[in-house]
Amino acid sequence: MESSPAGSPHLRWHPLKREWVGYSGARQGRTFLPSTDDCPLCAAREGRVGEIPFDDFEIAVFENRFPAFTAGAETPPVLEGVTTAPARGRCEVIVYSADHNASLGALDDGRLDLLIEVWGTRIEALEAMGFAAVLPFENRGEEIGVTLHHPHGQIYAFDFIPVQIARAAEAQRDAPVVADLIAQTDRALFLQDGGAAVSLVPPFAMYPYEVWLAPRRRVASPAGLTGEERAALAQALGDAVRRLDALFGAPMPYILTVQTAPRGFADTFHMTIEIRPFRRDKGKLKYLAGVEQGSGIFLVDVSPEEAAARLRAVLP
């Protein structure tokens, strides 16, 4: 932790983007690609104990040691001309398996079912603690800066509704966007259709080979899924990741987010699991360049129709 007043986690308002930006100097020192022997997410074994004091586990959840948001966030610095706020929230790590070399695509459907159940129970617990929005996500792949290889995701809870989450929730309140997507999209864009959950390349994908998953029925969060829906979503999730990994013959670096209803939107929000891959071709990563940064318009090289056709064909 730095000693400067600007060093402890806090938020500053960006007056042109009209969104909060988070600052947390302490995260620069977080663990970076440790050797397998030193992995803090492996189960405890003789001679060493990482973050998880058990000799085996299925799924483990604990608070992030390098949090960008904390329940007891300090008073933010006072800066001339800048609106600041405490970075109030909670950051959790969710480890998917005791197996250091596993990945979402390698886990069996039972474990993926449990993962979705744990997302639901954590969302309920964090909402009960008073947080306004909860975001489970996974950053996968050294290519996109992942600092620990052991398969894991994270869960962030915020004491306010971030602008982008509010915008999507308002859009869903104005129109049943996700139900329409499932009902109206060309069936050729679907990876899985017909069951209690669907997976598809959205026709407005922002990344090549982007895949969305959703329960067919409008459910606001994983906590509201029936057992049948959870099982269908688990099966579709494993299938989607295996297709992405098969596409270029290497584990696909991706960002996975679980978009769930923020406070006040439970009656109109339809949850989605969104996977944004970062490899657009063998040896080529997708970057946000000048057009994306300067205008907000994403440029996509691979049409959703072509992406879906390739993802459907790559595995039986």
Residues designated catalytic: 152
Query: Applying CB under 8 A, which of residues 47, 72, 145, 316 lies at the interface with a second copy?
Result: 145
The amino acid at residue 301 is D
Q: Residue 131: how many CB atoms within 10 A of its CB?
A: 23
User: What six digits make up the tokens of 111?
Assistant: 């474990």
- Kindly indicate which of the ranges 104-112, 117-125, 171-179, 218-226 contains the residues binding a second copy, using the contact rule CB under 8 A: 171-179
**Rounded CA separation 65/30 (Å):** 9
**Rounded CA separation 102/239 (Å):** 15
DSSP state of 144: G
Residue 206 in the binding site for a second copy (CB under 8 A): yes
Query: Applying CB under 8 A, which of residues 54, 57, 62, 204 lies at the interface with a second copy?
Result: 204
Contact 59, 95 (CB under 8 A): yes
**Rounded CA separation 74/137 (Å):** 25
Residue 82 in the binding site for a second copy (CB under 8 A): yes
Query: Applying CB under 8 A, which of residues 61, 94, 98, 205 lies at the interface with a second copy?
Result: 205
Looking at the Cβ atoms of 72 and 294, the one nearer to a second copy is 294
Query: Applying CB under 8 A, which of residues 177, 246, 266, 314 lies at the interface with a second copy?
Result: 177
**Rounded CA separation 228/234 (Å):** 10
CB of 172 to a second copy, least distance (A): 7
CB of 115 to a second copy, least distance (A): 15
Query: Applying CB under 8 A, which of residues 1, 15, 74, 101 lies at the interface with a second copy?
Result: 15
Residue 18 in the binding site for a second copy (CB under 8 A): yes
- Kindly indicate which of the ranges 44-52, 101-109, 111-119, 155-163 contains the residues binding a second copy, using the contact rule CB under 8 A: 155-163
- Kindly indicate which of the ranges 44-52, 112-120, 157-165, 224-232 contains the residues binding a second copy, using the contact rule CB under 8 A: 157-165
The alpha carbons of the chain give a radius of gyration, in whole angstroms, of 20
Query: Applying CB under 8 A, which of residues 37, 46, 47, 295 lies at the interface with a second copy?
Result: 295
Q: What's the sign of the alpha-carbon dihedral 47, 49, 54, 59?
A: negative
CB of 62 to a second copy, least distance (A): 18
**Rounded CA separation 290/296 (Å):** 9
User: What six digits make up the tokens of 144?
Assistant: 């996109």
User: What six digits make up the tokens of 47?
Assistant: 């001679």
The amino acid at residue 18 is R
Query: Applying CB under 8 A, which of residues 1, 250, 285, 315 lies at the interface with a second copy?
Result: 285
Phi, psi of 222 (to 5 degrees): -55, -25
- Kindly indicate which of the ranges 17-25, 39-47, 54-62, 214-222 contains the residues binding a second copy, using the contact rule CB under 8 A: 17-25
Burial 164-188 (b: 16+ CB within 10 A, else e): ebbebbeebeeeebbeebbeebeee
Residue 259 in the binding site for a second copy (CB under 8 A): yes
Residues 43-72: x where in contact with a second copy by CB under 8 A, - otherwise, as a string:
-------------------------x----
Looking at the Cβ atoms of 188 and 250, the one nearer to a second copy is 188
